[in-house]
Amino acid sequence: MDTKGPELICHSRVHTDEKPFVFATCGKAFTTESDLQQHKVNTGEKPFVCASCGKSYTTEGSLRRHYRIHTGEELNVLVCETCGKTFTQRDHLLQHDRIHTGEKPFVCATCGKAYTTEGSLRRHNRIHTGEDLRVFVCATCGKTFTRRYQLLQHDRIHTGDKPFVCITCGKAFIHKCDLCAHERIHTGEKPFVCVTCGKAFTRQSHLYQHHRIHTGEKLFACATCGKTFTLRSNLHQHDKIHTGEKSFICATCGKAFIRKCDLFSHERIHSGKKPFACATCGKTFTCQSYLRQHNKIHTGEKPFACATCGKAFTQRIQLQRHDRIHTGEKPFICATCGKTFTRQADLHKHYREHIGEKPFACATCGKTFTCQKYLRQHDKIHTGEKPFVCATCGKAFAQQSHLQRHDRIHTGEKPFVCATCGKAFACSSDLRKHEMIHTGEKPYVCVTCGRAFTRQSHLYQHHMIHTGDKPFVCETCGKAFYSQGNLCQHKRLHTGEKPFVCSTCGKAFTQRIQLQQHDRIHTREKLVA
């Protein structure tokens, strides 16, 4: 009697190199019948054809199961308790369950990488054994694949074929899995649930990516600077910072972008399309990320807090910029004059001062600006829009930053301190201007008379002396002024507004300088006492 079991017989072939199972089409031999069947799946051959409907299968067992559809024989349908998907075979259901549980029981003994199915592990092992995997070659671009169906899917990129169409909206897809994921947008189904926090996703890949937030795992490291990322796509985008590659180009103006989504958002500037609307106030945006940021104004959500001073922000990038106030880091350097900046956008704006470029023009009055932000702010002069209202006194502002500065009048907060003399300021721009007193820097020079100024606004006002231009006119009495600040001060004569209040005696003033002069009375009283 033969005492050798089937497992021992299979194992002994590893030593003898016996491969009794031969594929008749290509002549390739295998040690086990299951490996031969798997090879048939990989080649795409389906020799077992249904006599009733013509559908073909790779294995005889699959054909037998299919026959039950025609004969009416009970299929023993097995249902996934998590998402309701049905299966005719228990092992298929068990494999599917691992999508929800995240279980990967098949581990590579060489490198430790884990898989949900034994077949996936076998294919992976060929990387270590050196067995040639890349047998299916794309005739168009030469890319190689380990499976025929992968090549067929890839071919659709070249042909443009999108056979999987959404019956709800008509959108077409190359892969069926992409259609399934898309359909969940319409149904609202999110079958992939994080066991740690309960957040649900439409795609398994999104769940895997999300898991890394909890584990802190960052598998993808930049070879240039060592920065690590949770997603390979994020690493690819980051790499372009080092290479300077901007492969997505606007057909209208020629501007180039690192990411395709940034190009799409930019193109809406030309088309005027703003498809993302706020459900609370109706304001529309060119991209979804801007809408998400805007929504935090209504919710008051500020999830990113400074570890040094506790100040919270709606966006992570705002926190990163804020951190530079504490560290003093200014990584963006002007190649022309050597001036440094905390933000790249500020460097770009500064560079335009050297070349005199002002590409953003007001459609109403024709005034030009170095950046779009300044144009948006200027537009509110024409529209009169002031959406940011002070909760203390009700005063409204065109810009959120102006409201924040105004709030400090009520709170007395002065977070920006001069490192040289210790004087504190309510806003960072005032600190920067003050620092020029110590450095003697006056970067803004009048081309007419050569007089230099510490502030660009002072240069603009001074330039009007030469031109005689007084663009800021009082609506009440018609008096004109060089600057908007002078007009605002003048308007208080008509309104009687006195926003600058002495914290010692309560006396109010129309101008800040009047309050500062008044404060000296109390200072002298303290010195005499």
Residue that wins the pLDDT comparison between 424 and 317 = 424
Q: Residue 14 — pLDDT band, cuts 50, 70, 90?
A: low
212 within domain boundaries = yes
| Residue 1, pLDDT above cutoff 60 | no
Judged against a pLDDT cut of 60, whether residue 132 lies above it is answered with no
The closest alpha carbon to 158, from 134, 137, 139, belongs to 139
Handedness of CA 235, 237, 238, 240 (dihedral sign): positive
Domain of residue 226 covers 164-243
Q: Does 186 map to a domain?
A: yes
Pairing of strands 304-305, 500-501: unpaired
Residue 224 lies in a domain: yes
**Residue 43 pLDDT:** 58
Q: Is the pLDDT of residue 526 over 70?
A: no
d(CA 222, CA 244): 15
* pLDDT tops 50 at residue 2: no
Q: Is the pLDDT assigned to residue 15 strictly greater than 80?
A: no
Pick the range with the lowest mean pLDDT from 438-442, 475-479, 505-509.
Answer: 438-442
Residue 424 within any structural domain of the chain:
no
Statement: residue 322 has pLDDT above 80: yes
Confidence check: pLDDT of 88 > 80? no
CB 138 within 8 A of CB 146: no
Residues in contact with 397: Cβ distance below 8 Å, sequence separation at least 6, in sequence order: 386, 388, 389, 390, 403, 406
The enclosing domain of 180 has a CATH number of: 3.30.160.60
Lowest mean pLDDT among 38-42, 187-191, 398-402, 510-514: 38-42
pTM of the model: 0.32
pLDDT at 209 over 50: yes
Distances (CA, A) of 155 to 41, 58, 132, 174, 175: 19, 22, 22, 10, 11
Instruction: Give the rounded percent of residues in the chain with a pLDDT score beyond 90.
Output: 0
| Element housing 445 (H / E) | strand 444-445
Asked if the structure places residue 206 within a domain, the reply is yes
The answer as to whether 222 is a domain residue is yes
Residue 208 to residue 102: CA distance in whole angstroms: 8
Q: What is the pLDDT of residue 477?
A: 92
Q: For residue 505, give the 3-state DSSP assignment.
A: coil
For residue 116, being part of any structural domain is answered with no
The answer to whether the beta carbons of residues 181 and 189 sit under 8 Å apart is no
Total domains, the chain: 1
